[in-house]
Amino acid sequence: MAEAKAPSKPRIEEHVEIDSAPASFVKNDALSPESRVFREKAEGLYRWAQDHIVAGLEELDGTKFRTDAWSRPGGGGGISRVLQNGNVFEKAGVNVSVVYGIMPPEAVRAASLKHKGGEPQSKDNVPFFAAGISSVIHPWNPMAPTMHFNYRYFETSSSGGSEPDFWWFGGGTDLTPSYLFNEDVSHFHKTLKGACDKHDPEYYPKFKKWCDDYFLIQHRGERRGLGGIFFDDQNDRPREDLIAFQRSCAEAILPAYLPLVAKRKDMPYTEEQKMWQQLRRGRYVEFNLVYDRGTVFGLKTGGRIESILMSLPLTARWEYDQQPAPGSPEADLLDACKNPRDWL
């Protein structure tokens, strides 16, 4: 008779639901005071942004978000806030995570294309810390655009200790409409440019192009949407300057996006236009599951699956060889996704 196996220890993937989030998820007695303070500052920014943005979305929708707090046995935890089947939004999520522990080298490559001073030399598991906020908002009305944003701070240690050898910031905000209203996209980009210009006039043109390049669905030859800003591996100036830039970006999200939804949420639409929205959401799903580095990182580090896949819409559609009619609004949107435009 085979000997019964001892119960396995909890895996990193087995996240634990908790009644409420602690004041801080940062727990590491081996940290220097400087490292602890900055980690808590990054966490504080993302938790403030979550509260601020959820409040704005709830006011427009008239529905409250569900809140789930969770802890990660490997280290850290997070707060997931999700609205489904609201009055304005079919699905909206605003998640914060503050996680740390060890990760395989391939997860480091998924998290960052490069590090200042070179790649970590170890081929073994790498100590890391990651804090961030991520959101995707899908309205019911196909005339109202989907919007995504993500801002994060990351540390790794190639020496195996608690103190970081490498650190960087990343993030961005982008718009994915199903129908193109030039004035809406222009407002969105101008608002993001204003946030960038407070810190560096070169940020917006650089990060706008980066966004257009990053969100390319390579197997389709088209972008997921109409862009915004995107950046990664940002560590070319003091951390205090870079986290201040992230705050400006977070402060720009509601004024960039909510006026567009308020303007379009009650517009009439046809069944055919709703089906086009579903097709464009299919493109959204393709990008997120095939190319998105955040999704890959979350899966490789045993992230909370409900939070990782929160970005996917409730409904999407694929049709064989669907082509919009030449000269139609749908064709105009597709052309803008294939050939990025200047929206200013």
Catalytic residues, by residue number, are: 148
Task: Measure CA 139 to chain center.
Answer: 17
Reduced to 3 states (helix: H, G, I; strand: E, B; else coil), residue 153 is: strand
Instruction: Describe the crossing of helices 182-197 and 203-214 by its angle, rounded to 10 degrees.
Output: 130
The residue type found at 203 is Y
Q: Whole-angstrom Cα distance, residue 124 to residue 75?
A: 18
CA atoms of 279 and 222, how far apart (whole Å) = 13
- Specify the DSSP class assigned to residue 47: H
Gap between the Cα atoms of 247 and 121, Å rounded: 32
What Å distances lie between residue 77 and 8, 25, 34, 175, 178, CA to CA?
21, 6, 21, 28, 34
